[in-house]
Amino acid sequence: MSTPTGLPDQVVFMRQVHGGAVAYVTAPGVRPEVDAVFTDQRGLALRVVVADCAPVLITTAGMVGAAHSGRTGTVAGVVPALVRAMAGRGADVRGMTAWIGPNACGSCYEVPPQMRADVTAAVPHAWATTRHGTPSVDIRAGIVGQLTALGVTDIQHDDRCTIESPQLWSYRRDRRSGGNYGFVWLD
């Protein structure tokens, strides 16, 4: 999520829908209705846009992937779907590094009790409470649980909270659309 210095000219954009669909891409342009893409093509950047959802970037030998995983996408299993799809094209899961970028943290992301119950039925590690003691979901913890269950052990974090960090975009805080951008590519 740093400044995209040296960003390749060729970029894949996702029309994200908070789902669990993954696409293998080999050319730049817009991919409709997916929340994860991956490629083995050098010089092809994958872009993910998030506000309070988590951007997840995965690198491994000869392959990179990007996912948009908020509450709904995490329940839909978009990150596990990406890991499986990359493995299906020959990536070594144990050689993967996953990077989870800034998102709304578990101390801030208040939800109704039933929503927390519904989320954690699918993603137990996401169970959390806010700093005020009310029900919340911890998307980052949920994704870590999903990655770990698949054997991805190298998990890196930019664990800033979008709601608490004024320099990051937050829909929950600002009520305006916009986003934080994550890019990943093979040099």
What is the DSSP annotation of 64-77?
A: EEEEEE-HHHHHHT
Beta strands in the chain (DSSP E): 10-15, 22-24, 29-32, 36-39, 44-50, 54-60, 63-69, 97-100, 127-129, 135-137, 154-157, 180-184
51 counts as binding Zn ion under rule CB under 5 A: no
Sole binder of Zn ion in the list 96, 111, 152, 161 (CB under 5 A): 161
Q: How many chain residues bind Zn ion (CB under 5 A)? A: 6
Between residues 5 and 167, which has the closer beta carbon with respect to Zn ion? 167
126-131 contact pairs (CB < 8 A, 24+): 126/74, 130/106, 131/107
The three-class DSSP label of residue 160 is coil
Asked if residue 105 binds Zn ion (CB under 5 A), the reply is yes
CA 103 to chain centre: 9
Asked if residue 164 binds Zn ion (CB under 5 A), the reply is yes
Residue 164 beta carbon to Zn ion: minimum distance, rounded to whole angstroms: 4
User: 152 or 163, CB closer to Zn ion?
Assistant: 163
Query: Is 141 a binder of Zn ion (CB under 5 A)?
Result: no
45 binds Zn ion (CB under 5 A): no
Please provide the DSSP assignment of 20-53 as one string.
--EEE--S-EEEET-SEEEE--BTEEEEEEESSS
Asked whether position 54 contacts Zn ion by CB under 5 A, the answer is no
Query: Which range in 62-70, 140-148, 154-162, 166-174 contacts Zn ion by CB under 5 A?
Result: 154-162
78 contacts Zn ion (rule: CB under 5 A):
no
Give the nearer residue to Zn ion in terms of CB position, either 65 or 135. 135
144 binds Zn ion (CB under 5 A): no
> Any contact of residue 108 with Zn ion (CB under 5 A)?
yes
Write out the residues near Zn ion by the rule CB under 5 A. Answer: 105, 107-108, 161, 163-164
